[in-house]
Structure 1
Amino acid sequence: MNTIVYVDGFNLYYRALKGSPHKWLNLQALCEASLPKHCKIVGINFYTARISSRVDPSSPRDQHIYLKALQTIPGLQQHFGSFRVTDLFMYLDQPVVFRPAVEKLPDPAPRYARVVKSEEKGSDVNLGVHLVRDAFQGKFEHAAVITNDTDLVEPLRIVTEDAKLPVTLLTPTDQTAKSLRNVATYVRRIRNYLGVSQFPNPVVTPDGIVLAKPENW
């Protein structure tokens, strides 16, 4: 069964990879391990955004190395949204709690604080649009989607109910959103396959570039 896989990169990272030793993840190996043998993977679409050094100075370099490693996977395409970092005032939960703890709070306690807010924009929209487009253009017989983002409920529903094509939800968390489970044809958890689906270290590209796994990964 010809299968295209759609990967919500940020959701995968925050739900399954952050804080784990499995960030050097080979998506092709993961999909082959977690999908049934009759699924022939004919394409992998990876949706992400280039992150800002304001969040972590080393993060853009680490991400760049990983994106280069992903490019060695045949048939994988990368699709980029945008990563926005803004300074804005936000209302503080009351009573105010600081981390690390502050022995004595000002009186009266502040109600607003200026914060740095990071947002990834566009990836889920791109994934949903591409999933629906590919379904109606007959590009796959079966789709697999790695996400736990409920913004993707409607695209999955359109594919399964309107296009009448099966969709496997490859969930990156043990607490799968019920609304996603309700519209997916099948649900499979991927956590148990992360450790056995790592790139070799280093990865050598076809043109001889050596990509070493980032040290803090």
Structure 2
Amino acid sequence: MDGYNLYYGCLKGTAFKWLDLLALFERHVLPSVTVSGQDQALTSRLEPQAIKFFTAPILEQAAKASDSLRCQERYHAALSKHQPGRIDIIKGYYSLTQARPKAIDPVDPKKWPRDCTVEVPVWKLEEKQSDVNLALHAFKDALIEGIEHVVIVTNDTDIAPALEMIRAHTSAIVGLVIPTRDHQRPPNRDLTRHAHWVRSHITPSELQAAQLPRVIPAARNPVLKPDSWYARPDLLAQALALACVEKGSRSKAFQWLETPNPHWSGSKPIELLESDAGEQVIAFMQEWDSRKPAPSS
């Protein structure tokens, strides 16, 4: 699984980043697949170590948000601890260098780069090793480990030679899942021509239905979903501030937010806080807080 492709194709700008990869594929993606020439759903059983997740740690100095690195570290810890041993996180790295690419000529935009004279100083950020690691692991697992069915999650054509070699040198079935929401990016033909089957997209409803629990238990410190990964972190912050005053702690505040509330026909306040409906929760909490008697002097 290409973590970079998955993030930018399915998760960026959504509230689905706290994604349970195993649940997504075991419950949603794989059961929907049929292999060419067959007329039934895929019945392959995932290996105990079901997923290899290829990613790279974010460079803090190049991150778009101040908490990006901490959130990524927390997510990787959650994946490792939710079902230990079932997901192998294989890390490459990011390279950040200064470069001076040629600027497009504003008068003649079709002018070749070699003929352009203006250079622009920029930071060049590149992910290293992840594509190579994915290709090598996929080929090794099919050729040496005897995996009968390899599912590749990417739309990166750099992986095409690995798929071609798997088809040429092994009997493994090759499946391809394009990590994009609702056909936002078409599958690359260099990849699809080497696959027995192709899943062209992952739906938002599937991503929403395959979220990790908010709290992942661990031997020492539990792993918590980052506040900034909720759909409306602004509303969540207001609700937590009000609830912590009333309940006395953050954990008790979340306990109240996650309990079905008859005031909203059995809906959980935290679910309402995922949309503009959360304004109702904030208004209710503010009104409740205003009704409390003032402390005696």
- Give TM class, smaller chain: 0.7 to 0.9
Matched, 1:197 2:197: no
Matched, 1:28 2:22: yes
5+ unaligned residues in a row in structure 1: which ranges?
1-6, 97-109
Equivalent pair of 2:4/2:55 in contact (CA under 8 Å): yes
Q: What is the CA–CA distance in structure 2 between the aligned matches of 1:208 and 1:196, rounded to whole Å?
A: 28
Matched, 1:62 2:62: no
1:156 to 163, 174, 197: 163
Amino acid at match of 1:165: A
TM-score, normalising length from structure 2? 0.63
2:189 to 178, 195, 211: 178
Q: What is the CA–CA distance in structure 2 between the aligned matches of 1:35 and 1:136, rounded to whole Å?
A: 22
Structural mapping, 1:1-217, within 5 Å: 7-32=1-26, 33-36=28-31, 38-42=43-47, 43-56=50-63, 57-72=66-81, 73-74=83-84, 75-95=86-106, 111-173=118-180, 174=183, 175-192=186-203, 193-205=206-218, 207-217=219-229
Equivalent pair of 1:85/1:119 in contact (CA under 8 Å): yes
Equivalent pair of 1:22/1:194 in contact (CA under 8 Å): yes
In the alignment of these two chains, the number of paired residues is: 197
Higher helix share: 2
1:101-125 alpha-carbon deviations (Å, 9 max, x no partner):
xxxxxxxxx9322111111010010
Q: What is the CA–CA distance in structure 2 between the aligned matches of 1:188 and 1:204, rounded to whole Å?
A: 33
SS at 1:54 equivalent: helix
Equivalent pair of 1:34/1:190 in contact (CA under 8 Å): no
TM-score, normalising length from structure 1? 0.84
Higher strand share: 1
5+ unaligned residues in a row in structure 2: which ranges?
32-41, 108-116, 230-297
Amino acid at match of 2:172: L
Q: CA deviation at 1:90?
A: 1.9
Task: List, as ranges, runs of 4+ consecutive aligned residues in structure 1 with deviation greater than 3 Å.
Answer: none
Equivalent pair of 2:135/2:159 in contact (CA under 8 Å): yes
Against the structure 1 CA distance between its residues 204 and 24, is the aligned structure 2 distance closer, same or farther, given a 3 Å change threshold?
same
Equivalent pair of 1:160/1:185 in contact (CA under 8 Å): no
Largest Rg, 1 or 2: 2
Deviates more, 1:26-35 or 1:50-59: 50-59
Q: What is the CA–CA distance in structure 1 between the aligned matches of 2:104 and 2:7, rounded to whole Å?
A: 27
